[in-house]
């Protein structure tokens, strides 16, 4: 389904935003002796969009239907269904809608009674490719006031005052030595880099390539002001040139100069913060956490998972958050700090009233990206979980479900299985997280067969780039033991952004928010997710159901005893079919590429649905 429904104007009421059929979806009735079957329909053109249809009824036929639902066969329990609250999504929802439109949209997303009641949300830890400013960020970029070493990415050596901090001495790089006062540069609120009471200075207020970088008595002049940039460069405020290791040298004593910024490794620097003294979730306090708290208030059953696309650049071999050419590996010295980074994040969110129930160590490990990413081999992830993350969480009395892999099904054999086979790591792993982009979701069943006591979660899929549509991702994932099914961005703007250059320009959201007009578009993925999240409650159990070549489906038994069946007509023609359950049948017809959710409560089952 490629069409979408639009809502014009910031004053648009919830009725207009969702369509009259979905404003307040009719509550399911209590159990009825004749087992009334309720039906909600979405057609491929969205002329019907989660629209409740006339009730159906069971007949007394005892034969097998086209689809047979058997509630005596049970499989996995369900945690929830939803999408990701990226920085982009939260910023658009909080900053591009009026107060009324914002409340209407949050109700449409999270309210079980007034919307689709999403019960599962993924939260990036720091920047993913979808960042409101189209720039990366972490919770400890260490670009503000601090004192410590300044390490050259290309050389691995530290900026050093030579041990002779006299006026005019040209600084150089030298082997980093813990506690060496020559290398303890303080970055001040005046944008100065100070050591031994002197300031880093562009000699003679030079603004041309080749200008020497020296020490000089601090005087407040602009040639002593520097900007620490997220890409790892340090630029002179006056000159706009980059702090550069002469000749791209890597040896002790190589001198520092100004040079035209090129992005080369000899112009990249990190200011490590291994104690995480500058860690802060302040970035998230303005709109991400408020949106999540509102979502939790609307749906107290909502569960959240979190994971990083990249740790802070100073933790990595390339000094940056990107993973261009897979050059951004976790430094051996950063394993313990990264574990504490998780601890501080979980504690910080919990203190804000936003508990995180699941985490993964790394999004799409070892996928080369121009946006935040990290080269993280299976062996390295196993070591990190076994020796750092697991013990750190235990010591802090934190117990989120730790999931491995968080990547596509085509890494089953070379990543997911060996990670779980690592005894030291697997004792901390609750299961495996999967993305949809390689298709082959039967890999989840393979993983379940190999490790039946570990869980599987589908944690990312985006319409626009997925090999199947959202409804098929949700059906196939859950038929293959997934306890969650998760789409990507909850919201994007009219240009499928904001997104960091090199990120996914083709990814489409559940909801599109036009930055200029405030118009809201409810895309097909929104209704696909709703066919699950609205009717399948957290704690539901998947039950057996048969499929055909034209009708794909999955069935669940909710905690209240009601049964939900989601059916997707995958064919190009209308399909008439019957469904049997408990010795009875009902019949129906689905248009081409239409989706329907059927819900009923077997006779004699106590129910409090609604």
**DSSP tag of 417:** H
**Residue 285: CB atoms within 10 Å:** 12
Find, among 374, 377, 470, 375, the residue nearest to 419 by Cα: 377
What is the phi/psi pair of residue 288, to 5°? Answer: -70, -55
Cα–Cα distance, 229 to 227 (Å, whole number): 6
**Relative orientation angle of helices 288-298 and 99-110, to the nearest 10 degrees:** 60
Catalytic annotation present for 381:
no
Distances (CA, A) of 20 to 261, 595, 599: 56, 19, 21
**Relative orientation angle of helices 470-479 and 524-533, to the nearest 10 degrees:** 30
Find, among 430, 425, 418, the residue nearest to 384 by Cα: 425
- 308, 124 in Cβ contact below 8 A? yes
Find, among 179, 51, 210, 165, the residue nearest to 531 by Cα: 51
Radius of gyration of the chain (CA): 28
Three-state secondary structure call for residue 51: strand
Cα–Cα distance, 308 to 126 (Å, whole number): 6
Three-state secondary structure call for residue 499: coil
Cα–Cα distance, 42 to 559 (Å, whole number): 25
Identify the residue whose tokens are 């299961």: 431
Which of 458, 460, 472, 492 is labelled catalytic?
A: 460
Angle at 321 between CA 344 and CA 139, to 5 degrees: 25
- Report the number of secondary-structure helices (H) and strands (E) in the chain: 12, 37
Which region, left, alpha or beta, applies to residue 163 given φ > 0 means left and ψ of -120 to 50 means alpha? left
Cα–Cα distance, 203 to 215 (Å, whole number): 9
Please spell the DSSP secondary structure of 169-201, one letter per residue: PBPEEE---TT-GGG-EEEPTTS-EEETTEEEE
Three-state secondary structure call for residue 89: helix
Three-state secondary structure call for residue 394: helix
Burial of residue 219, with CB atoms counted within 10 A of its CB: 0-12 exposed, 13-18 middle, 19 or more buried: exposed
**Residue 337: CB atoms within 10 Å:** 22
Q: Which residues pair with 194 in a beta bridge?
A: 186, 199
**Residue 34: CB atoms within 10 Å:** 11
Exposure string for 201-211, b = 16+ CB within 10 A, e = fewer: bbeeebeeeeb
Catalytic annotation present for 458:
no
- 507, 462 in Cβ contact below 8 A? yes
Cα–Cα distance, 469 to 466 (Å, whole number): 7
Which of 35, 364, 458, 472 is labelled catalytic?
A: 364
Identify the residue whose tokens are 């970035």: 283
**Residue 27: CB atoms within 10 Å:** 11
Enzyme catalytic residues? 364, 460
């Amino acid at each position: 389904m490629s069409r979408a429904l639009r809502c014009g104007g910031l004053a648009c009421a919830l009725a207009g935003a969702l369509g009259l059929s979905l404003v307040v979806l009719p509550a399911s009735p209590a159990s009825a002796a004749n087992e009334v079957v309720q039906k909600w329909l979405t057609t491929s053109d969205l002329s019907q969009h989660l629209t409740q249809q006339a009730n159906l009824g069971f007949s007394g036929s005892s034969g097998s239907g086209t689809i047979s639902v058997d509630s005596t066969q049970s499989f996995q329990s369900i945690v929830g269904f939803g999408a990701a609250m990226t920085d982009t999504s939260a910023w658009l929802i909080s900053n591009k809608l009026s107060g009324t439109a914002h409340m209407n949209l949050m109700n449409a997303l999270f309210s079980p009674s007034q919307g689709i009641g999403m019960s599962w949300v993924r939260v990036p830890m720091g920047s993913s490719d979808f960042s409101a400013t189209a720039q990366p960020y972490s919770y400890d970029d260490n670009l503000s006031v601090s004192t410590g070493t300044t390490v050259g990415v290309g050389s691995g050596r530290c900026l050093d005052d030579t041990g002779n901090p006299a006026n005019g001495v040209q600084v150089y790089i030298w082997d980093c030595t813990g506690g060496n006062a020559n290398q303890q540069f303080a970055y001040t609120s005046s944008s100065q880099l100070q050591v031994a009471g002197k300031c880093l200075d562009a000699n003679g207020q030079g603004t041309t390539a080749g200008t020497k970088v020296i020490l000089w008595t601090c005087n407040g002049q602009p040639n002593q002001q520097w900007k620490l940039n997220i890409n790892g460069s340090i630029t002179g405020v006056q000159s706009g040139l980059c702090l550069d290791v002469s000749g791209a040298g890597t040896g002790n004593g190589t001198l520092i100069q100004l040079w035209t910024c090129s992005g080369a490794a000899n112009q990249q620097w990190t200011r490590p913060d291994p104690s995480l003294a500058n860690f802060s979730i302040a970035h998230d306090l303005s709109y991400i956490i408020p949106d999540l708290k509102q979502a939790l208030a609307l749906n107290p059953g909502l569960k959240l998972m979190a994971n990083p696309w990249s740790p802070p650049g100073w933790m990595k071999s390339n000094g940056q958050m990107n993973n261009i050419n897979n050059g951004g590996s976790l430094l051996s010295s950063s394993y313990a700090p990264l574990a504490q980074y998780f601890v501080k994040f979980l504690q910080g969110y919990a203190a804000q009233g936003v508990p995180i129930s699941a985490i993964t160590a790394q999004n799409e490990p070892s996928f080369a990206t121009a946006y935040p990413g990290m080269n993280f081999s299976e062996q390295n992830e196993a070591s990190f979980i076994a020796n750092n993350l697991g013990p750190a969480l235990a010591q802090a009395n934190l117990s989120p479900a730790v999931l491995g892999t968080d990547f596509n099904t085509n890494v089953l054999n070379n990543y997911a299985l060996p990670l779980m086979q690592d005894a030291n790591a697997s004792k901390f792993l609750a299961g495996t997280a999967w993305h949809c982009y390689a298709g082959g979701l039967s890999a989840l069943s393979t993983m379940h067969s190999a490790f039946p006591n570990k869980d599987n979660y589908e944690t990312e899929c985006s319409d626009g780039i997925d090999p199947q549509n959202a409804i098929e991702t949700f059906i196939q994932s859950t038929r293959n033991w997934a306890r969650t099914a998760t789409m990507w961005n909850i919201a994007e703007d009219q240009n499928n952004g904001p997104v960091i250059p090199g990120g996914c320009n083709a990814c489409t959201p559940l909801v599109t928010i036009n930055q200029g007009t405030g118009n809201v578009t409810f895309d097909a993925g929104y209704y696909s997710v709703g066919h699950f999240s609205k009717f399948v409650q957290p704690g539901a159990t998947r039950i057996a159901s048969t499929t055909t070549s034209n009708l794909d489906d999955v069935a669940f038994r909710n905690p209240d005893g009601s049964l939900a069946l989601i059916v997707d007509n995958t064919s190009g023609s209308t399909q008439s079919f019957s469904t049997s359950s408990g010795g009875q049948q009902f019949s129906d017809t689905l248009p081409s590429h239409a989706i329907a959710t059927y819900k009923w409560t077997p006779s004699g089952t106590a129910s409090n649905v609604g």
